Amino acid sequence: MFYIHWVFILAYVFIIVSIMLAVLMDNRQPAKTIAWVMVLLFMPIVGIILYVFFGRNTRKMTFISQRSLDQLSKRSMLEFVEQRQLTLPDDYRSLIQLFTNQSLALPFKDNEVEFYTDGYEFFPALLKSIASARKHIHLETYIFADDALGRLVADALISKSKEGVEVRLIYDDVGCWRVPRSLFERMRRAGVDVNAFMPVKFPAFTSKVNYRNHRKVCIVDGVEAFVGGMNIALRYVKGLYGGQLPWRDTHVRIRGGAVYALQRTFLVDWYFVDRTLVTNSKYYPPMPWRIENSCLMQVVTSSPIAKWPDIMQGYVRILLEAKNYVYMESPYFLPTEQVLFAMRTAALAGVDVRLMIPRHSDSRLLELSSMSFVTEVLEAGVKIMLYEAGFNHSKLLVADDALCTCGSTNIDFRSFENNFEANVFIYDRTTALRMKEIFISDEQECVDFLSVNGERKRPFMHRLAESLVRVVSPLLLK
């Protein structure tokens, strides 16, 4: 018994030391490294569990070979090269080059954009587009709920599959944990090609639970696409708590060359989940409508396996280069240190930086954890607006009447560093002004953070809880 006791202790110490060495060798930001070491030292059991689920450095893993990526990118590159008279705006040339160099986010001109600001607008448009499909439908979503709306969309996909249309669906395994697998099996039996993104099976994929596909993308016949913040679930129409908290969101429909970039995004993900290279030119058909305008777009993706956090770097650059204003909406606000620094710097430089977050969130913990970050940017002059007309789930940014972005990315560490995300960046004055109008309209439903909280000091226990959550948050960053 004595020897068993010592063997257990030595094994335990060996595991702790090994994990500490792994954390050190990852060369993370010093604050994150210290946080992990402190947790492992003072809460070793908890630390080991957290590390197994959230700590391993996925950026070092390779989920797709360069050769396969080149093949999947070839068609979109050919469509890019065939563009005539492509000119890049001088003010954003370096930003466009940044995205192009890092993740082959090619800029496409001549695009048509339509915004949807709630589920009542978006889902009829999505269902109409699905009904019009003649060749293929590619749908990728974080949540595909087994409710009235989810079953309606499933029926629409099944109907098109029976007509001979190729239908591919990617859903996130963790996002759909509570969804009965019978929903997806019913689609499979009807001919829909369905795959779960990175299934979590203990213990093999335990560490992957922290890295989820948060993208919401749909491509129809390679000529029309949707991207934004809405998943397939009834609450995106009816709201939360039986409709007591209406749901406000933003989604975009795109026609034009940028659809080719979204097609590439989906097919890269499809290769990852299905190990099938889908490269046929039929997925990049000529556009059936003629669009000639100055609406230049880039589809930018980010993921925990990419070398650089592309979308986060884009936000930082936009904030630091803004001349007049940057308006942002996000359902959650737990920014990385880089984004926090950029927001403070822009505001202190005289840029009108406004952030809109919900007054009432779908998560009390996330609502609480935002407060210390809100206080910090307020001190630098950032204006915080609290949306009161419901739960605002929009993820958008507009700057200087010239640039805007919309997609699945929240202003939080999970979106910037842990999730697979997709945003469209639009360099066009007309479109930027339309998004600015959306922001101004939402602002009418807001109250200023300071008008609600004033200068009064929050109770000690509230501030303590906020600080504790903030201390723990670096553990969830890579």
Q: Which positions are annotated as active-site residues? A: 214, 216, 221, 393, 395, 400
| CA pair distance 119, 225, nearest whole angstrom | 16
| CA pair distance 89, 100, nearest whole angstrom | 15
User: Do the beta carbons of residue 466 and residue 374 sit within 8 Å?
Assistant: no
Two tokens at 31?
A: 């604050």
First-to-last C-alpha distance (Å) of the chain: 41
> Measuring CA to CA, how many Å separate 312 from each of 121, 201, 335, 355?
29, 30, 10, 16
Nearest to 125 by CA among 223, 218, 27: 218
Two tokens at 218?
A: 């749909």
| CA pair distance 66, 235, nearest whole angstrom | 39
User: Do the beta carbons of residue 110 and residue 143 sit within 8 Å?
Assistant: no
Two tokens at 250?
A: 């933003």
| CA pair distance 438, 456, nearest whole angstrom | 32
- Whether the CA torsion 450, 456, 462, 465 is positive or negative: it is positive
User: Do the beta carbons of residue 317 and residue 436 sit within 8 Å?
Assistant: no
Supply the DSSP string of 310-324, one letter for each residue.
HHHHHHHHHHHH-SS
Cis peptide leading into 107, omega within 30 of 0? no
Two tokens at 293?
A: 């305008």
Residue bearing tokens 């003649």? 134
Nearest to 21 by CA among 36, 9, 31: 36
Q: How many CB atoms lie within 10 A of CB 418?
A: 22
| CA pair distance 465, 84, nearest whole angstrom | 56
Give kind and range of the element (H or E) at residue 309. none
> Measuring CA to CA, how many Å separate 189 from each of 131, 153, 196, 357?
20, 16, 16, 42
- Whether the CA torsion 82, 83, 85, 87 is positive or negative: it is negative
Residue bearing tokens 């596909």? 213
